[in-house]
Amino acid sequence: MKKNLHFIKKRFSDHLSRTLLLMVTVSLLSTIAHAQKVMEVSPDSIQFHGSLYQKIKTKPTYPRVVGYLSFILPLETLSNGTLTPNFDHHTTSIGFPVGVNVLYSDHFGFSYEFTPTVKASGGSSKMSNLLFDPGTMFRFDHGFTIITRLAFETSGRYGFTPVFNQVYARTKAVNYFVALSLPNRFGESEPYSLGLNLQIGFTFN
């Protein structure tokens, strides 16, 4: 009787050991298969609750139209061999460029800009000039853009203005930019002039 009981216990113990070994083996194989499946998922896909979903890549559609607001500060003007600061105790000018950019691709666009200028002098102020300066946009990586503008002023002056524009902050609603421009002007029986302007503003997304 004791021998039979010992034999039964031994067989039960062997059966339990095989069962546990089988369960461990199945668990390991399942884990390895799952790991291989995860590794085979494409970088353009995402796995959620056991299902595989393809990531949607969004690209901007062109042509695209964006508006912008800004202000511009004339810093220096070189004319007839004389460098004149545009900010002193007697006279101050500030412009308010507003415009529309028509973007045709990631690398090219066209800009339409109007700039009214307000001049303060001798305790009074007035709108002294209106500038229309359309131009082509050459867009580069990291938010840098070169704009080549023509310039037509109600004061009678005309010319061209290269602009070097850099986006320095982005949000969902707007992009903030800073630009340096070099207005070259002719006409109105005045000598040629070259200016340096600082422009700060934002575009609507």
Write out pLDDT tens, residues 98-127: 999 999 999 999 999 999 999 988 888 999
Average pLDDT, rounded, for the chain: 83
β pairing state of 98-103 and 82-85: unpaired
| Position 14 pLDDT exceeds 70 | no
Q: Average the pLDDT over 134-160 and give the result.
A: 97
- pTM of this prediction? 0.71
pLDDT interval class at 43 (50, 70, 90): low
CA distances from 188 to 98, 127, 170, 191 (A): 25, 19, 41, 9
Tokens of 7: 């034999």
Q: Average the pLDDT over 52-71 and give the result.
A: 82
Q: What are phi and psi of 4, to 5 degrees?
A: -60, -40
CATH code for the structural domain at 64-204 = 2.40.160.20
Domain ranges of the chain: 2-54, 64-204
